[in-house]
Structure 1
Amino acid sequence: MKITLVIASMDCGGAQRVMSIIVNYWARKGWKVTLLTIDDGSEPPFYDLEKSVLHIPLEIAGASGNLLAGLWNNLKRIYVMRQAIFYSNPDVVLSFIDETNVITLLATQGLNLPVVVSVHTDPTACPISKIWEQLRQWTYPRADKIVVLSQAAQNFFSPQLQNRISIIPNPVLRPKFEKNPFGQQLVKPAVIALGRFAEEKRFDLLLQAFDKLKDRHPQWTLTILGEGELRPELESLRQELGLGDRVYLPGVVKNPYEFLQQADLFVMSSSFEGFPMALCEAMACGLPVISTDCPSGPREIIRDGVDGILVSKVDAEALAAAMDKLMSDEEERQRLAARAPEVTQRFSLETVMGMWEAVISEVIGET
């Protein structure tokens, strides 16, 4: 099997993490895998790729100064991507994330190739610009298959597209439990969170919730792994709340499992998600977890009261109440933690990749 996959970049992120898992799985199966990225390749992929994966940075990223420049740049992107896909000579093309999906669908017109596009967030809560939304409505009917992460994401699309949509969750890998050669990374007992420092992650809410508990639980600390444009705001809020010696923001780490395996509680405070890998990885490590009940994502992963807790309101009071409950009760934390690793069975690599391969077999059969 020859497959060409397209994504904007392979930097740190949930979709990129999933892409690396998928391409490595197929490469190990002996498939010929070509990975096209829109960036210039000046930074190596954040996630390790198998040596047999042919990674080609197309050098077609970059912002446009005005509408005319944007039109020209996108025409260039379409041409360059079309050439790259054509010369990779694939049996099927798989693209990740909305804007890249649109460009891929335009670039493959007339090539007589089956194209699968994958949506990696909740489109009801994560709108794109009006121009890209119009392009999405125009191009998505040309996809042979649209893959989404949840029923809520499927419901976003028009009735005309429903028979082209498949729901495939992200795969959850079993962590390697190895002794950390660098010693203890966290000040325990420790709450941990993980994600990009962006508005939808609502780490400001998490800081406010932790602030409400700092006197009741004076030994506990909070570590948030990640990076992003809101770092200055989060650092400022940390100081404003007087949490400078209790909240740690160490940045992006290559192996979050080292931190997750040392933590006592994982908290996700997002206002929306797709199918959050951070939450899955925390549960795979046997952590009790708390998450806001987003319109999609966490509720597909957490079995409320069985292997984690869902918080119905996205506010600091509700989040603090759930955190207080588990921070105060080690026995309850252990009960939830005992069931959490079952996530690796429910969304195992073999199960999820079987679903992907069924989709690929279907679209190749239709061509």
Structure 2
Amino acid sequence: MNNIGGAARTADSLISCQVKDGYKVSTVVLTYLDSLWTVDFKAAEQVIIMKVAGSQFSIGGTIHQISIAKQLSQIITNEKPDILICHTAFVTKLYYISKFFPGSLSIPYISYIHTDYIAESQVKVKTDSIKAAVQQLCINIHSLINLTAIKQASGLVFVCKTLYERFLKLGLNHRRIAISYNPAIPDPNNLPLDSTAKSWLNNSQLITFVCAARFHHQKDHKTLLKAFAKASETYSNIRLILLGDGDLETDIQALADSLGIRDIVLFAGSVSNPRAYFSLSRAVILASHYEGFGMVIVEAVASGVTFISSDCPVGPREISEVLKCGTLVPPSDVNALASAIIEHVKTPQEKIDRSDEIERLFSESSCAKNLELLMQQIIY
């Protein structure tokens, strides 16, 4: 599995629950970078780290993935597991490729789909005609292998109903499927808040919003900052705290400078206690182009506050309907997002109590039980 973001945190939670239930779990981690967003999987019996480089939609990236798949084949042959849990379509694909190497073992595997890989694969191709053709060919090949690998899995887990329905449109029809929301994982500690963030969040004269998302094209910080700048023209006492890191952080900081809002936007970096920030905010904002689910807004509600989210193809609308709260706006719509922020400032703060629903649908034990039931169907 990958070691960045919500999928990694969910896998770590599942591993901890499985170890408590008597399973022996080894974890193979595919990492793109060294980051504070990484998860260390302390409960696992062993952790094997493999470095992944290059875009999967390039020739170089494809060759590297074949090399990674060969290494994965050797690891599986040495470990001889009873079952594999492949977190994300990308990891599922690598295991599927690994089975073609001589001496490989054929192990039953579950593909745990966290992300809308359909949207992920719709990347903007290069403008050069030859490079565009090559890139599009890589995309088509990878999409075909992804879907084949998922179809041949022993079982499938989707993190929400709408994600499953999206895959159904591709002709996916599998006899062993579980739909299991990711767990709303509590903060692991009582670490102090960033000093500036603390002063903003505890100042009754300020209205502070929080966004927790890595700086990546998917999360669309550009639309968020443009909307926030527009809203600040109406309300000068609003503030925005950005939690996270990533390759585009410097670009987003430059955008905040050019919009003239750097003094009301705080880049607080990655933190291990995001819910401490959420609980003191007016609302949590998620402006993504696409999501697998959007667990951060569930954690916002679990922290007692509402959310503003883009109504991307998968995730936020389902969360809004299940938890009966939240504001949805069209993706990439600066004016709509600015209006939603202004509306939240104009109206009294809404405190959310959805503790019963959170415990029933988003607990760690519920998530682990759903996976265990599927595993038992496959192994026994």
> Within 2, Cα distance between the matches of 1:237 and 1:163?
48
Aligned residues: 353
**Alignment correspondent of 2:361:** 346
Superposed displacement of residue 137, structure 1: 3.2
**Alignment correspondent of 1:251:** 269
Going from structure 1 to structure 2, the CA distance change for 1:306 and 1:300 (only over 3 Å counts) comes to closer
**Alignment correspondent of 1:172:** 184
Question: Which ranges in structure 2 are unaligned for 5 or more consecutive residues?
Answer: 123-138, 202-206
**Alignment correspondent of 1:17:** 9
Superposed displacement of residue 40, structure 1: 9.3
Superposed displacement of residue 26, structure 1: 1.2
**Alignment correspondent of 1:79:** 70
SS at match of 1:193: strand
SS at match of 1:86: helix
Per-residue Cα deviation, 1:16-71 (whole angstroms, up to 9, x for no partner): 11111111221222310100123499779833533553111245x23389987666
Going from structure 1 to structure 2, the CA distance change for 1:305 and 1:329 (only over 3 Å counts) comes to farther
Which of the residues 110, 113, 117 maps onto 1:119? 113
Which of the residues 157, 161, 170 maps onto 1:147? 157
Aligned residues of 2:159 and 2:293 also touching (Cα < 8 A): yes
> Within 2, Cα distance between the matches of 1:244 and 1:255?
23
Q: What is the correspondence of 1:120-139 to structure 2 with a 5 Å cutoff?
A: 120-127=114-121, 129-139=139-149
Q: Which moved more, 1:354-363 or 1:207-216?
A: 207-216
**Alignment correspondent of 2:375:** 360
Superposed displacement of residue 118, structure 1: 1.6
Which of the residues 38, 55, 78 maps onto 2:47? 55
Which of the residues 340, 345, 351 maps onto 1:327? 345
**In the alignment, does 2:219 pair up with 1:225?**
no
TM-score w.r.t. length of structure 1? 0.85
Aligned residues of 2:219 and 2:288 also touching (Cα < 8 A): yes
> Within 2, Cα distance between the matches of 1:48 and 1:159?
36
SS at match of 1:278: helix
Aligned residues of 1:285 and 1:341 also touching (Cα < 8 A): no
Per-residue Cα deviation, 1:128-181 (whole angstroms, up to 9, x for no partner): 622211222333332111222233322324435343443222111345785848
> Within 2, Cα distance between the matches of 1:241 and 1:304?
36
Which of the residues 80, 83, 88 maps onto 1:92? 83
Query: Which amino acid letter does the alignment assign opposite residue 82 of structure 2?
Result: D
Going from structure 1 to structure 2, the CA distance change for 1:340 and 1:178 (only over 3 Å counts) comes to same
SS at match of 2:28: strand
Going from structure 1 to structure 2, the CA distance change for 1:71 and 1:350 (only over 3 Å counts) comes to closer
> Within 2, Cα distance between the matches of 1:361 and 1:65?
33
**Alignment correspondent of 1:106:** 97
Q: Which moved more, 1:234-243 or 1:119-128?
A: 119-128
Question: Which ranges in structure 1 are unaligned for 5 or more consecutive residues?
Answer: 1-6
Per-residue Cα deviation, 1:282-326 (whole angstroms, up to 9, x for no partner): 111111211111111111212389322222454111112222122
Q: Which moved more, 1:109-118 or 1:285-294?
A: 109-118
SS at match of 2:254: helix
> Within 2, Cα distance between the matches of 1:314 and 1:69?
31
**In the alignment, does 2:231 pair up with 1:210?**
no
**Alignment correspondent of 2:290:** 272
TM-score w.r.t. length of structure 2? 0.82
Per-residue Cα deviation, 1:72-91 (whole angstroms, up to 9, x for no partner): 54443223211211222222
SS at match of 2:246: coil
> Within 2, Cα distance between the matches of 1:65 and 1:289?
33
Query: Which amino acid letter does the alignment assign opposite residue 286 of structure 1?
Result: G
Aligned residues of 1:98 and 1:136 also touching (Cα < 8 A): yes
